[in-house]
Chain A
């Protein structure tokens, strides 16, 4: 490996967690490179695994209820479409418990370590909701959002189906991506030249995020963290007293989970996966150098 610079650039970055609720996170990276933050983003999207419904078996033909009334196993939507809608539902995932089906001790046959089974049994007229999916086994695997409409059933229509959820990553299908609305941008550096300002407050009126406010006569930057760099204030100010700049030292990173994992678990897991990848990479490089 002659000619290759293998010296390591040490980055001393700091992390400031501004928001961390069950399914939302907002983190500021100080003195970090955008490539590092982007690596976390890409890992979250495509490498952190989660459970999602993968296989559905429909009962076809007549369905009888307790009173002997006969229902037809049809609905306004195609079975494929219902299967697709079921697949998109957020299935609660414990990454310390579940393993990939193909790598499981059951050799892919399906067992409580790699799959979750659900049953769906509903007779019309009604709306079938995600909450009607009953987990076979532990009730903690009930779908996170139980009010998602799956399909509507008319008189004499019914649905009887068994669904199997399994673990995979966003690379395989977008339904396995635990994150939504993930992105990063530079933080805004806003300044107002009070000497030039005519206190007309055009920037207050035009700002969609209410960044500015008035203190007496003076216009102040009250919430710079809300700014999304739309530059409406700069354009509205004819005296050029508002200045908005990107601050490369501060990268704001925001993400949301679909509910299957908590925001904190998702962040920790993505960092762990990144670490494993880099360790593997550096081992391969040192094997080459020998």
Chain B
């Protein structure tokens, strides 16, 4: 839906760096290197970034 504010498992606030992560990956950087640079160290937080599907734009017209 929309990127979670916090990691489900450890509680780290991860929502704030997601847009930068997306931008940098779309520019051609490797996702793992971008996550390292953004301080997303644990695999619980990393799986949220890697598996997230942004659907909020699809349902926005039906709000």
Contacts and interface: CB of A to CB of B under 8 A. Distances in A.
Contact of B11 (A148, A154, A177): A177
Contacts of A88: 5-6, 13
A76 B59 contact: yes
Contacts of B62: 76
A180 B63 contact: no
A146 B12 CA distance: 15
A274 B57 CA distance: 47
Contacts of A157: 60, 63
A contact residues, range: 20 to 34
B37 interface: no
Interface string B22-63: 000000000000000000001000000000000011011111
Nearest to A170: B11
Interface hub of B3, B56, B59, B60 (most chain A Cβ within 10 A): B60
B41 to A, nearest CB: 8
A152 B60 contact: yes
A199 B40 CA distance: 35
A149 B60 contact: no
A90 interface: yes
B21 to A, nearest CB: 11
B13 A256 contact: no
A23 to B, nearest CB: 9
Interface residues of B, number: 24
A37 interface: no
Contact of B7 (A85, A90, A145, A180): A180
A123 B24 CA distance: 28
Contact of A180 (B1, B10, B20): B10
Contact of B2 (A145, A151, A181): A151
A119 interface: no
Nearest to B20: A147
Given A147-B16, A148-B13, A75 B63 contact: yes
Contacts of A64: none
B2 A77 contact: yes
A27 interface: no
Nearest to A75: B63
Nearest to A178: B11
Given A77-B2, A77-B56, A88-B5, A148 B12 contact: no
- Among B1, B2, B16, B18, max chain A CB count under 10 A is at B16
Interface of A: 74-77, 85, 88-90, 130, 144-149, 151-154, 157, 174, 177, 179-181, 256, 258-259
13 contacts: A76-B59, A76-B62, A88-B13, A90-B13, A130-B15, A148-B5, A148-B15, A151-B56, A154-B63, A174-B11, A180-B12, A181-B12, A258-B12
Given A148-B13, A149-B3, 4 more contacts: A77-B56, A149-B19, A152-B56, A153-B60
Which 8 residue pairs are nearest across A and B when measured between Cβ atoms? A180-B11, A148-B15, A145-B16, A88-B5, A147-B16, A76-B60, A154-B60, A181-B10
